[in-house]
Amino acid sequence: MRKLIINGVSMTFDAPDDMPLLWALRELAGLTGTKFGCGIGQCGACTVHVGGQPVRSCILPISEVAGEVTTIEAIGESDVGRRVQEAWLALEVIQCGYCQSGQIMAASALLARETAPDDAMIDAAMAGNICRCGTYPRIRAAIKAATR
Amino acid sequence: MSGGYAAIPESALPATTRRRFLTGGALIMGFMFSRAARAFDSEPNLAAAGALDAQGRGFAGFVPSGFIRIGDDGRIILVMPSVEMGQGIYTAEAMLIAEELEIGLDQAEVVASPPDSMAYIQSILKSQVTGGSTSIRAFWTPLRQAGAAARSMLVDAAAAQWGVRPEECAADRAVVSHAASGRSLPYAALAAAAARRPVPQNIGVKPVSQFKLIGRPLKRVDTPAKVNGSARFGIDVAIPGLRTAALLMCPTIGGRLRALDDSVTRQAPGVIDVLRLEDAVAVVGEHYWAAKKGVDLLKAEWVHGPGAHLSSPTLENMLLHADAEPTPGVLTGSPEQVMARAPHRLEAIYDLPYLAHATLEPINTTVHVRPDGCDIWVGTQVPLTARKVAAEITGLPPETIMVRNHLIGGGFGRRLAVDTIEQAVRFARQVDYPLKIIWSREQDIQHDHFRPAYHDRIAAGLGPDGLPVAWTHRTTCSTVRPYYDRKPWPLGTLDKDAIAGASELPYAIPAMRVDWVRQDGPVALNWWRGVGETHNVFVVESFVDELARSVDRDPVEYRRAMLAHNPRSRAVLDHAAKAAGWGDPLPPRTGRGISLHDSFGSYAALVVEVSVDPHGEVRLRRAVAAVDCGIAINPDSVAAQIQGGVIFGLSAALFNGITFADGRVEQSNFHDYRQLRFNEAPAVEVHVMPSEENPGGLGEVGTVSAAPALCNAIFAATGVRVRRLPIDRTELAEKGSDNMVAGIATAATIGVGTLVAGATLHSRAKESDR
């Protein structure tokens, strides 16, 4: 049994230690906003925050989660998260949307630690999140809009 | 069985989105988001929305057509004939209906259409299908007419109630009003009366000048739910009693399971069952992780079948030495004779690879087979075909089969195939619970039905002015048709897709032959974004560039000289070139390339600007597109589709090809099927030409433009002509450079989420005005 704090709520997971946090979130907690894209940490669709840091939950076993977990379902409760979501909608970033939970989580983590990141910082923070629909230029613009 | 699994029943998801978390049974109030998310804040209750069948049976209210339901409670539901996979079609189709129905987008919910043999059939593809950039062209008139018909019935109902003439009434924002007497009624109050009226058959629609919604960059109806995790894709389906399965699939084409030892798997924690098909095994678990670990414990032996030794060199040889009689495509004049006499001749060979779709949402299908019916939860571009194959496999009558379509996390043509649904139904009919099959990323890539590979020979004879007077283009490839149609394609019958983009050029060329040598192979095929045009326009537009260069003419000016009869193409060409600063000086190893095509009813020109470093690594500096798609339903959506489509095409041209060795696909995940990353993507500027022509298609237009513009830019930068995709960047290295190997190693690290600082980053200084 593993106790984790997800979005401020204490939850007990009856699951094997090696279960990736991604699947614990999606199937045990019913939080399907975090997505499965590759299973090897290459695409970023599974990005959540642990202790405020962005992590790829598909390769993070629940036994290794040290810190409170924040998912896309709750990121809007923070000021940064809310501004990111609003910028994403104002600039109509999203196409299919499947990568966007991960994109928003990566962007929120960046803006939580850098109030006005430059392009190189944005590149570094976002290079791990694949978008097959090609929304990258709008994501960049939305991150910049969310800093204002 | 350990209690690790919690399923969320549909009934527990009312509009305000509460979620039940597993904490020893307590109900926890989940996140409530502030902005109203129309339609996708929870899995829509399709029965209550009257959207489980086209006739709206069971819906309490007004059902004038398959597309519209207006409830006595005021709920307005728009049933979408096309499926949303990122292209913005739910918003655009809702706008078409809303324009004539006289409602705001904020007043309606949008739901996916159920399969129906008539109500959602589109006129271009003759089925209920989303693909081929056809949705707006097919539904431009029918959806507006449906909205207009419904509005007129509501207005007539109000007029009858008031004893006035309908002409004296106006409809706006779901309210009918009679200005003279100051009376008004909301649609909710009129629904029952409207439902009793006959549906008008021949209804007029507004002229362009009266549009209130169409042509405006309205906010999309699906995106609010996509920023907070509440949007549900097929993979997110949760229903009572659901079990999840991971698969083991035969690694070679045409192979079968010979023997299976599942004894260890069955003992593994959380494993519920092991199901078999001829060529695949499903391990059913309490949750995906248990199932996946169960798969890892299987011991399987395969009879590898005819594909056991498939290799790319063999496949390429088949295309190279194909000797079938060419199937005629297009013939104008006597191109061979004219070419023989032409002062100047050029010929070239172009080769394109198999491509995977690599949608970010991997293949997944949820099926519940019962004695009396079948439910399917999936994201599909072909819901009617999905129902059909489920009926065939289960033997159940089609009307007992419900296909619940979902938002799709990337289509690109993948979800036009139903092989994965067939597989899921075959597994699901072995059990009595709802079964969700999730493919791994490796399976998603390796068991894809691929975009065909192509081998093209193209030649032109140039006249004294350097322009082509004769042109021949022969493409050798297999055909997608038997896979899509699910029946053989007769030998000798032209597959128009094989020559699409080759047979009708924007240019005036007096003598032309385009034909197809059919060479079938063992690889399963499927449509890929841009279909035949993505292949042929790459060849044509690269070759036009070769022709221009061979007579020392500017590529833009050369094309313009062949467009006298084609003003819409000329206009986008000139606009894109001007906006891109064509002709302005550039640093060394930096160049611009242009491509031009008219496809899917739209006209597009794209300029791509690249710089190529000494190692051959290509930096995408910027892209500038000019698009004439006729009336743009939603101009922001048009820009987004072009931006996204261009980036999609650039990514594939730079990095992707599916190769085979020892019968197996060599690529497996995003580390070796590389995708363009955030830091590598250029800004894409899109100019939408104003037009009052009927709308053209859009979803694939940007992708078609991308590869040729890119390769033409690479030529301008390096003098190297790319005739084979994906681009072999080692060929672009500066001659005499010692840094080739180091450059490739540097490039390879960019894909792993860490950034290599310094020289490998390109400057973004000029893109701040994106």
Q: Which residue has the tokens 């007579």?
A: B551
Contact call for B681 and A101, based on CB within 8 A: no
CB contact under 8 A, B226 and A97: yes
pLDDT for res B306: 85
State the best of B228, B406, B656 to mutate against chain A, taking most chain A CBs within 10 Å.
Answer: B228
B66 close to A (CB below 8 A): no
Strand (E) positions, B200-325?
A: 243-249, 256-261, 271-276, 280-285, 299-303
CA distance B622 to chain A (A): 11
| DSSP track, B184-220 | EEEHHHHHHHHHTSPPPSS-----GGG-SSTTS-PPP
Q: Do A133 and B648 touch (CB under 8 A)?
A: yes
Residues of chain A contacting residue B106, judged by C-beta atoms under 8 Å apart: none
pTM to 2 decimals? 0.92
Contact B201, B152 (CB under 8 A): no
The arithmetic mean of pLDDT across residues B260-276, rounded, is 98
Residue B621 backbone dihedrals phi, psi, to 5 degrees: -85, -50
Place B667 in a pLDDT band, splitting at 50, 70 and 90: very high
| Beta pairing partners, B376 | B367, B403
**Nearest Cα residue to B618 out of B719, B747, B704, B749:** B747
CA-closest candidate to residue B528, choices B365, B417, B678, B642: B417
| Measured distance CA(A99)–CA(A136) in Å, rounded | 11
Specify the pLDDT at position B60: 87
Find, among B697, B737, B718, the residue nearest to B597 by Cα: B697
DSSP string, A73-142: TTGGGSHHHHHHHHHHHHTT--SS-TTHHHHHHHHHHHHHH-SS--HHHHHHHHTT---TT--HHHHHHH
Decide if A89 and B223 are in contact by the 8 Å CB cutoff: yes
pLDDT at B695 over 80: yes
Q: Per residue in B97-129, pLDDT tens?
A: 999 999 999 999 999 999 999 999 999 999 999
- Check if the beta carbon of residue B625 is closer than 8 Å to that of residue B702: yes
* Residue pLDDT, tens place only, B392-447: 999 999 999 999 999 999 999 999 999 999 999 999 999 999 999 999 999 999 99
> Do B648 and A40 count as a contact with CB atoms less than 8 A apart?
no
DSSP β-bridge partners for residue B127: B122
Could B410 and A133 be called an inter-chain contact, meaning their C-beta atoms sit closer than 8 Å? yes
**Distance in Å, alpha carbon of A114 to nearest chain B alpha carbon:** 17
Please tell me which of the candidates A31, A101, A136 has its beta carbon nearest to residue B681.
A136
CA dihedral (A110, A111, A113, A118) positive or negative: positive
Tell me the C-alpha distance between B470 and B452, whole Å: 28
B130 touches chain A (CB under 8 A): no
Question: Chain A residues with CB inside 8 Å of B83's CB?
Answer: none
Shortest CB distance from B644 goes to which of A73, A101, A134? A134
Residue A1 has a pLDDT of: 85
Interchain CB contact of B88 with A (< 8 Å): yes
B379 touches chain A (CB under 8 A): no
Contact A120 B232 (CB under 8 A): no
Using CB atoms, which residue from B85, B412, B681 is nearest to A137? B681
CB contact under 8 A, B648 and A20: no
B362 touches chain A (CB under 8 A): yes
**In the predicted model, is pLDDT for residue B769 greater than 70?**
no
**pLDDT value, residue B336:** 97
Tell whether the model's pLDDT for residue B269 goes beyond 60. Answer: yes
% residues pLDDT > 90 (chain A): 99
* Predicted local confidence at residue A148, as pLDDT: 66
Contact of B699 with chain A, judged by CB distance below 8 Å, is answered with: no
Q: What is the pLDDT of residue B235?
A: 98
Q: Are B499 and B330 in contact (CB under 8 A)?
A: yes
Cα separations (Å) of B389 from B101, B237, B364, B396, B461? 36, 21, 16, 10, 50
CA-based nearest residue in chain A for residue B622: A137
Region B629-654 average pLDDT: 98
B410 contacts chain A (CB < 8 A): yes
Cα separation, B322 vs B474, whole angstroms:
12
CA B665 centroid distance within chain: 23
What is the model's pLDDT at position B765? 33
- pLDDT for residue B745: 40
Q: How many CB pairs under 8 A join A and B?
A: 254
Q: Average of pLDDT values for B296-309?
A: 94
Distance in Å, alpha carbon of B770 to nearest chain A alpha carbon: 8
Higher pLDDT, B42 or A137: A137
Q: Is residue B752 pLDDT above 50, yes or no? A: no
Q: Which of residues 438-457 of B touch A (CB under 8 A)?
A: 438, 440-441
Collect all residues with Cβ–Cβ distance below 8 Å to B239 and sequence separation of at least 6. Answer: B7, B9, B10, B366, B368, B377, B434
Kindly list the residues from chain A whose CB atom is less than 8 angstroms away from the CB atom of residue B224.
89
Q: What is the distance between the alpha carbons of residues B623 and A134, in angstroms, rounded to a whole number? A: 13
Average pLDDT, chain B: 90
- List the alpha helices (DSSP H) in B237-287: 263-267
Q: Which of A72, A92, A138 to mutate to test the interface with B (most CBs of B within 10 A)?
A: A92
Residues in chain B with CB shorter than 8 Å from the CB of A110 are none
Residues of chain A neighbouring B625 (CB-CB closer than 8 A): none
Answer whether A88 sits within 8 Å of B223, measured CB to CB.
yes
Write out residues 9-28 of B within 8 Å (CB-CB) of A.
19-24, 28
Q: Which residue has the tokens 């629904």?
A: B191
Contact list, B236 vs chain A (CB under 8 Å): 26, 32
Is it the case that residue B538 has pLDDT exceeding 90? yes
**Residues in B 258-297 with any Cβ partner in A closer than 8 A:** 269-270, 287-290, 293
Q: How far apart are CA B736 and CA B730, in angstroms?
A: 12
Nearest partner of B61 among B109, B106, B6, judged by Cα: B109
Q: Does any CB of chain A come closer than 8 Å to the CB of residue B710?
A: no
Contacts of A31 in chain B (CB under 8 A): 19, 229
Question: How crowded is residue B354: how many other Cβ atoms within 10 Å of its Cβ?
Answer: 24
* Contact state of B753 with A41 under an 8 Å Cβ cutoff: yes
Per-residue pLDDT tens over the stretch B564-608: 999 999 999 999 999 999 999 999 999 999 999 999 999 999 999
Q: Is B528 on the interface with A (CB under 8 A)?
A: no
- Residue B404 CA to residue A47 CA, distance in Å, equals 28
B34-90 pLDDT, tens digit per residue, is: 233 343 334 556 767 777 789 888 888 999 999 999 998 889 999 999 999 999 999
- Are the beta carbons of B33 and A16 separated by less than 8 Å? no
pLDDT > 70? residue B739: no
Out of A19, A40, A72, name the one closest to residue B671 (CB). Answer: A40
Q: Give which of B660, B659, B700, B654 is closest to B674, Cα–Cα.
A: B654
Say yes or no for a CB contact (<8 Å) between A11 and B21.
Answer: yes
Chain A: residue nearest B28 by CA?
A9
Residues of A with CB below 8 A from B228's CB? 33, 72-73, 75-76, 85
pLDDT band at B738 (very low <50, low <70, confident <90, very high): low
Q: Closest chain A residue to B3 measured between Cα atoms?
A: A14
If pLDDT is split at 50, 70 and 90, which confidence band does B307 have? confident
Q: Does B2 touch chain A (CB under 8 A)?
A: yes
